[in-house]
Amino acid sequence: MTGIPPLVPGASKGAWRRWANDTWARIDLAGLSPQVVSHLAAWEPARSAETILFYLPMPGEVDLSGFSDGVVTARLLVTRTPLDGPLTVHPLSVPLERHRYGFMQPVADAPHADPESIDVALIPGRVFDRRGGRLGRGAAYYDRLLPGLKPGALLVGVCPSVLIVDRLPTDEHDVRMTHLATELGVEAVDIGAR
């Protein structure tokens, strides 16, 4: 796929999100998503993890549902986006409901899971950079959740390869990924470039 050329360094987060939205609109997610799942399922840290934070996709995100079909033996957890407050974490096995933005999530009274039990977190984003920087949709939900995970948990940004760029603008509260997962594979970020 030929995408829209990335923005120049110094562009605002808003400009990067607009660029990402235009780029996402050109991606065949139905064809790309199973490739990402295949790479994650073969990735040793996911195969040996006891607990993985998973996500249920919003429209226009990489769909990892094949990952929850028994390809790993880890306990899978998912987030709930409450009307107010931070994301909460729940077992994937709980009843689900549709959020007003179209994605599935645990029901309001679902039992909680401990974020400190998470070994690997699979995190959606609109665009990532090679240093592990991430731009989401702008609400900072994951930036508030991720510092509460187990020390040393692997943070895996999930997106199409065309949405990985050299450098994004960052804020002090932004949490960097340790790895990036695309249709090309799972790779560690360039820690030296941070």
The maximal CA–CA distance of the chain, rounded, in angstroms, is 45
pTM over 0.75: yes
Radius of gyration of the chain (CA): 16
Closest CA to 60 of 132, 144, 125: 125
CATH assignment of 13-193, among 3.40.50.10420, 3.40.50.970, 2.40.128.280, 3.40.50.10320:
3.40.50.10420
pLDDT of residue 71: 66
Model confidence over 32-59: pLDDT tens digits? 999 999 999 999 999 999 999 999 998 8
Model confidence over 120-156: pLDDT tens digits? 999 999 999 999 999 988 778 898 999 999 999 999 9
Model confidence over 60-100: pLDDT tens digits? 899 998 877 766 778 999 999 988 889 999 999 999 999 98
pLDDT of residue 102: 86
